[in-house]
Amino acid sequence: MVSAIVIIAAALAAEFMLGLFNERWRAAAYGVTLFALGFMAFISAEWVWAFAVYDAQPAEIFTAGVQPPFAINLRMGFPEAALTLLINLTGLFSALYLRRALLEKGRAAMAVLLVFVMAQNGIVLTRDIFNLFVFFELAVIATGGLMLLSEDERAVAAGFKYLIVSQVISAFLLIGIIFSYHATGVLNFDLMRPEHFAAAQGGAIAFFLMFIAVVAELKPFPANGWALDIYESAHPAFAGLFSVASAAATLYAVDKLLVLGGPAWLPVATGIGVVTFIAANLLALPQRNDRRLLGYSSVAQIGLILAVLGQRDILGDHYFFVAGGLIAAHAAAKAGLYWLSGLVASRDIIGWSTLRGHPVLIFAFVSFIALLTGLPPFPGFYAKWELAVALAGSGRYILLALILIGALIEAGYLFRWLGYALKRDKPSEEISCDPSAVTAIIAALAAGWAFAYLWGDLSAHGNILHAVPLLFALSFLLLDWLPAWVKNTVAIVGMVGYFILNYTDYDPLRLIFAVIILIGGPVILLASYDAHGRRIGFYPSAMLMYAGLTQLIGATDFFSFFVAWELLTVGSYFLILRGKHSEPHALSYIIFSLGGAFLILTGFALAATVSPLPMFEALQHLTGETAGWVFLLLAVGFMTKTAAIGLHIWLPGAHAEAETDVSPMVSGILLKAGLYGLMVLMLAMGKQRFYGIDIVHVMLWVGALSALLGNLMAIFEEDAKRLLAYSSIGQMGYALFGLALMNHLGWVMALMFVINHYIYKSMLFLSAGGVAKRTGTRLMYKMGGLITLMPLSFIAVLIGIIAVSGVPPLSGFGGRWIFYNAILSAEHRLPMVITFFSGPIAFLYLFRLIHTVFLGQLKDENRRIKEAPFWVILPQMLYVGLLMAFAIVPGLALRRVDTYLNQFFPEGGLNWEGITITSQFGYWSPVSIMIIVCAIFGSLFAWLMFINRRAQKVKQFNIVFAAERPYRPETTHFAWNFFAPYRKALGFLVQPFVTRFWETIADILHTAGDIGRRLYTGNPQTYALHFLAFVVIVYFFWTGG
């Protein structure tokens, strides 16, 4: 094993060697640099290997052969090895990336780069405070030098600013060091003790000065203006290196200091970290320059890790796992993103859409964003989970809330950026594909995924990447070059196959969801055969969503449930994002979803700390106030997904703007995830009170209001798919209402809604999508009279609306019947009034859908359109058949569920004897109804047809029009603002209060960010003052608190 000091020695040797080189031997010099960095990385790697595999002991290296305090010593432990490896590898790939710049600037630049890497290594390795200072100063000087590599002219000023601020910082550091020495008598980390500082006069202040100076190197808010300028103007390779290496090293230095300072300093670190995290994310919101945005993000991430360092007291064994996970994610993502920014010509974040031409790079970009936001399977996710569990377990709720709020804001701007990159028009400039740069980026990408795998393996919860559905989904990334129909077949076969293999494992409740996901999903996928070409990106996203859903219903513990939740969220986000104009809607979707996910995370974390049991049992065993909190958090989280009123504003856009075959997926299937969550939650926990309020009662009201307002909004909608989307809000409100009734039939009704809603909403969305595809618009008043041209779509919609509106004999009626029976035994009566009202309103929007699209007057331009494509029609016809079948024999699905529910709600089941279904209050015979209605209908129809057998078929303008005649179909088709009287009477109910509320919040955040960032005036003197102010504020809080 090579001694760790060789790392530093190698760097020094290479530097001196470079000094000996002729100025013209640049290639050789570059070779030496690369070799040195590679060698340094190799040594670190060797150590990491030794620690990880052979369980080696940490090695102390005594310089000058003397024990401390008489000489400086270095240590190589596992964290040091990992960090130096990270630093050296980043250094190596940065050097690779910097090839052109280094060759241009010559050996001096290479030497400076080596100094920088060496200094960072030194910061990690050294156990001597003064030595730490020296390495810091070396890093400062090297940074100053490397800043000049940039092609950006402003980099000079940025470097100078850094020098000025670092002058002030180093003065603090030096004074702190010397006073610490004065207090403790030694300068060695291992020999100093927290007691020393406490005992000596001024010892605490000495430590404070030292600590604050080192922390300042972490760019805490607000003392970080200089760092942002550096990030913005430096060469991207160096910015990446600076963000990764110096952050990693300095964080470790802080970690070492915190051991010295003792537990009293942990809250200080946490406070600084969390404030920085939130503030930097907030300030990043209005940012449009990509590198500066990344700078803010770096600052935020480092703040988060600093906060984690401050939580080492509760993290225990997970400390390195969490902090390391965050550092690893940050490193791979930030290096990768900075390196990517070097390829993009535009400095505006919209310019990143140029990446779209390169599948690998765009995949890298997506991965990096996922790494940063802590999505599964990346290490940040594991870290987030452990951190949340630890924080919740020790009662640090406010901190957890703050971190999650910050993370949500971060996700906001990162996903906005992602949306721009994926959706905005590509700029004319092509990206520069420098092979060495691309190599570096691919290395970062590989590192990110390697970290993902590694952290999965280290995790106590098992590796996410080992889940079959996820692997199946990810495999589509590799298959993306295949034509769409092949992938579609693979997807269908895979899903159905998975179902066949696993369906026996599900209980009836889960089985219903499993059928909807794994059988219903492929049915919708049939429509995807209509797509031509390769449809890049569709299948990985769709399969990711289905994988998440599949894992969700298979999940038995909190962690895997949450993983599945996040996976389906991400998958559906990308799926929704595919729509033509869906970028803003996808963003609001992901933000609401992540917000909801964070609530769920908090709830799970709270619950998980109580008992290590499987999820269901753990939830069951919760008691007292915690139970109320958990229930509330989880309920709100799940209701975000079902788009309960108040949390619904993401849904209409997201569902309406999605592609034809995506809308049914996200509406018919994805929404069920929220319901499933609610069902599991309510089955496990029953009714919970939260400070005296019955949450389930509140949910009853929320469900009723969602049903009413969703439906009301739907009837005023001109856009067919938006109408259906609003209708989903209403339908989900109904289902929520059923669940919240908390009785047997309420649940049967909710489950019936789950099935029915899947069938008819998928059918209607496909139909509307097919029509929109043919007519080129989704505005219903622009259609009309399509019945003869698109008869099959019409039949689908007709059957759909009969089913939705609950008119016998179709299956919707069963839902209504069960609903009435359910409310008869419910406790609360007032919310029923609202649901009574919302039922007929559903009828209004459905009629509008069928009338304005298929009936009425056919427009000029639509005279020659054809029926929707076969593959879009096929699933619709399947659904028509299903609806009919389900109408005649609802028992097929419901009977088993009914029995299953007996164990939870023993009262009030249904009697399925014979052909009549009997409840406590009434009876219902679907077969008889169907036969009677068909008989009456059929005989009357035959009679009328017979009488009118010779009726003259007329055309659309052959109407009696007050002796005049219509001139244009547009002016004859009564469609726009169809329910004007309703608007007049009840339009006040659908004022967009909720939208305004969320918009105001977004506005406030943005404005706060925009005002806040004006703090950074660009003047180094201000920055230095910021630092001083920072010191004073922290000092004030430290002494005050």
Partner 1 sequence: MQFDWMKIPYALLTLFIVINFGYLLNSFIAKIAARVGRRRGIPIWQTYIDVAKNYGLRTSITHGVMFYLGPVFRLSGGVGLLLFVPSIYGSSMFSNLSFAGDLILALYFVFFGTLGMALGAAESGHPYSAIGITRGLSQVTAAELPFALAIFSVALQYQTLSVTDIVAAQQGGILHWTLFTNPLAVVAAMLSFLGSMMRPPFDVVLAPQEIPIGPPTEYHSSYLALMQTNRAIFPIAKIVIYMNLFFGGATDWPTFFLKVFLIYMWSVFVGVSFPRFRVDQSIRWFLIWAVPIGVLSIVLV
Partner 2 sequence: MAHLAMATGFILILIGFYGALTNRNILRMIVAFTVADSGVNLVLVAVGYMRGRTAPILDNTVPAAEAAARIIDPVPQALVLTAIVIGVGVTALMLAYSYKLYEKKRTLDITKHTELKW
Partner 3 sequence: MKDELKKRLVKGPDGVEFEVDPLRDYYCDARPQVEPPAISKIVEDFFNWARAESLWILGFATGCGAIEMRPLMTPRFDAYRFGVQWRPTPRQSNLFIISGYLSTKTLKRVIRSYEQMQSPKYVMGLGSCTINGGMYWDSYNTIKRLDDYLPVDVYVAGCMPRPEALLAGFEELKRIIREGKGEGANKYAAEFDRYKANQKKVIHDWDMPDYNW
In the block, residue with structure tokens 């996700």: 411
Q: Rounded CA gap, 912 and 166, in Å? A: 80
Given the complex with partner 2, which of 348 and 505 has the nearer CB atom? Answer: 348
In whole angstroms, how close is the CB of 631 to partner 1 at the nearest point?
Answer: 28
Beta bridge partners of 961: 964
Q: Does 792 bind partner 1 (CB under 8 A)?
A: no
Residue 951 contact among partner 2, partner 3, partner 1, none, beta carbon within 5 to 8 Å by kind: partner 1
Name the one range near partner 3 by CB under 8 A: 542-550, 906-914, 958-966, 1011-1019.
958-966
Residue 964 contact among partner 2, partner 3, partner 1, none, beta carbon within 5 to 8 Å by kind: partner 3
Given the complex with partner 3, which of 955 and 1014 has the nearer CB atom? Answer: 955
Given the complex with partner 1, which of 439 and 920 has the nearer CB atom? Answer: 920
Q: Rounded CA gap, 421 and 424, in Å? A: 6
Q: Rounded CA gap, 543 and 523, in Å? A: 14
Residues numbered 865 to 894 that lie near partner 3 (CB under 8 A) are: 865
Q: Rounded CA gap, 607 and 626, in Å? A: 8
Given the complex with partner 3, which of 788 and 911 has the nearer CB atom? Answer: 788
Residues numbered 851 to 870 that lie near partner 1 (CB under 8 A) are: 851, 855-857
**By CB neighbour count within 10 A (0-12 exposed, 13-18 middle, 19+ buried), where does 913 fall?**
exposed
Given the complex with partner 3, which of 943 and 957 has the nearer CB atom? Answer: 957
Site string for partner 1, 868-907 (x = CB under 8 A): ----------------------------------------
| Residue whose C-alpha is closest to residue 410's, from 572, 598, 673, 233 | 598
Cβ-count burial 646-678 (b if 16+ within 10 Å, e if not): bbbbbbbbbbbbbbbbbbbbbbbbbbbbbbbbb
Residues numbered 753 to 782 that lie near partner 3 (CB under 8 A) are: 774-777
Residue 775 contact among partner 3, partner 2, partner 1, none, beta carbon within 5 to 8 Å by kind: partner 3
Residue 776 contact among partner 1, partner 2, partner 3, none, beta carbon within 5 to 8 Å by kind: partner 3
What is the enclosing helix (H) or strand (E) of 689?
Answer: strand 689-690
Give DSSP secondary structure letters for 966-981: -S-HHHH---TTTTHH
**SS3 track for 475-513:** HHHHCCCCCHHHHHHHHHHHHHHHHHHHHHHCCHHHHHH
Q: Does 961 bind partner 1 (CB under 8 A)?
A: yes
3-state secondary structure of 932: helix
In whole angstroms, how close is the CB of 1016 to partner 2 at the nearest point?
Answer: 5
Q: Does 967 bind partner 3 (CB under 8 A)?
A: yes
Residues numbered 928 to 957 that lie near partner 3 (CB under 8 A) are: 952-957
Given the complex with partner 3, which of 154 and 863 has the nearer CB atom? Answer: 863
Q: Does 948 bind partner 1 (CB under 8 A)?
A: yes
Given the complex with partner 2, which of 185 and 483 has the nearer CB atom? Answer: 185
Binder among 944, 1001, 1028, 1032 for partner 1 (CB under 8 A): 944
Residue 156 contact among partner 2, partner 1, partner 3, none, beta carbon within 5 to 8 Å by kind: partner 2
| Residue whose C-alpha is closest to residue 711's, from 804, 803, 575, 778 | 804
Site string for partner 3, 832-871 (x = CB under 8 A): ----------------------------xxxxxx------
Given the complex with partner 2, which of 413 and 794 has the nearer CB atom? Answer: 413
| Residue whose C-alpha is closest to residue 403's, from 330, 316, 305, 315 | 305
Residues numbered 904 to 923 that lie near partner 1 (CB under 8 A) are: 914-916, 919, 921-923
Residue 873 Cα distances to 283, 664, 756, angstroms: 49, 13, 19
Q: Rounded CA gap, 300 and 72, in Å? A: 33
Structure tokens at 83: 């960090």
Q: Rounded CA gap, 325 and 318, in Å? A: 10
Given the complex with partner 2, which of 78 and 1016 has the nearer CB atom? Answer: 1016
In whole angstroms, how close is the CB of 789 to partner 2 at the nearest point?
Answer: 56
Q: Rounded CA gap, 163 and 169, in Å? A: 10
Q: Rounded CA gap, 6 and 46, in Å? A: 12
Q: Rounded CA gap, 82 and 87, in Å? A: 9
Structure tokens at 702: 């929320």
Given the complex with partner 2, which of 150 and 711 has the nearer CB atom? Answer: 150
3-state secondary structure of 348: strand
Structure tokens at 361: 């790079």
Q: Rounded CA gap, 529 and 546, in Å? A: 18
Site string for partner 1, 727-766 (x = CB under 8 A): ----------------------------------------
Given the complex with partner 3, which of 434 and 867 has the nearer CB atom? Answer: 867
Instruction: Please state whether the peptide bond connecting residue 267 to the residue before it is cis, i.e. omega within 30 degrees of 0.
Output: no
In whole angstroms, how close is the CB of 901 to partner 1 at the nearest point?
Answer: 20
Residue 941 contact among partner 3, partner 1, partner 2, none, beta carbon within 5 to 8 Å by kind: partner 1
Binder among 360, 932, 1011, 1032 for partner 1 (CB under 8 A): 932
Q: Rounded CA gap, 380 and 304, in Å? A: 11
Binder among 624, 960, 991, 1041 for partner 3 (CB under 8 A): 960
Residue 830 contact among partner 3, partner 2, partner 1, none, beta carbon within 5 to 8 Å by kind: partner 1
In whole angstroms, how close is the CB of 967 to partner 3 at the nearest point?
Answer: 4
Number of shown-chain residues binding partner 1 (CB under 8 A): 78
3-state secondary structure of 135: helix
Helices within 126-202 (DSSP H only): 129-147, 155-184, 194-199
Residues 6+ positions from 776 with CB-CB distance below 8 Å: none
Which residue type occupies 645? Answer: I
CB 392 within 8 A of CB 264: no
Q: Does 945 bind partner 1 (CB under 8 A)?
A: yes
Indicate the pairing of strand 73-76 with strand 917-918: unpaired
Residue 175 contact among partner 2, partner 1, partner 3, none, beta carbon within 5 to 8 Å by kind: partner 2
In whole angstroms, how close is the CB of 128 to partner 2 at the nearest point?
Answer: 8
How many C-beta atoms surround the C-beta of residue 569 within 10 A?
A: 24
3-state secondary structure of 693: strand
In whole angstroms, how close is the CB of 597 to partner 2 at the nearest point?
Answer: 31
- Length of the chain in terms of residues written: 1041
Site string for partner 1, 415-454 (x = CB under 8 A): ----------------------------------------
Residues numbered 976 to 1015 that lie near partner 1 (CB under 8 A) are: 978-982, 984-986
3-state secondary structure of 918: strand
Q: Does 929 bind partner 1 (CB under 8 A)?
A: yes
Q: What is the phi-psi region of residue 57: left when phi exceeds 0, alpha when psi lies from -120 to 50, beta otherwise?
A: beta
Any long-range contacts for 920-927 (C-beta under 8 Å, 24+ apart)? 920/821, 920/824, 920/825, 921/820, 921/821, 921/824, 922/817, 922/820, 922/821, 924/814, 924/817, 926/809, 926/814, 926/887, 926/888, 926/889, 926/890, 927/888, 927/889
Q: Does 969 bind partner 3 (CB under 8 A)?
A: yes
CB 721 within 8 A of CB 628: no
Given the complex with partner 1, which of 345 and 833 has the nearer CB atom? Answer: 833
Q: Does 840 bind partner 1 (CB under 8 A)?
A: yes
Given the complex with partner 3, which of 955 and 984 has the nearer CB atom? Answer: 955
Given the complex with partner 3, which of 830 and 962 has the nearer CB atom? Answer: 962
Q: Does 582 bind partner 1 (CB under 8 A)?
A: no
Given the complex with partner 1, which of 258 and 742 has the nearer CB atom? Answer: 742
In whole angstroms, how close is the CB of 182 to partner 2 at the nearest point?
Answer: 5
In whole angstroms, how close is the CB of 771 to partner 3 at the nearest point?
Answer: 10
Would you tell me which residues interact with partner 3 (CB under 8 A)? 774-777, 860-865, 952-958, 960, 963-969
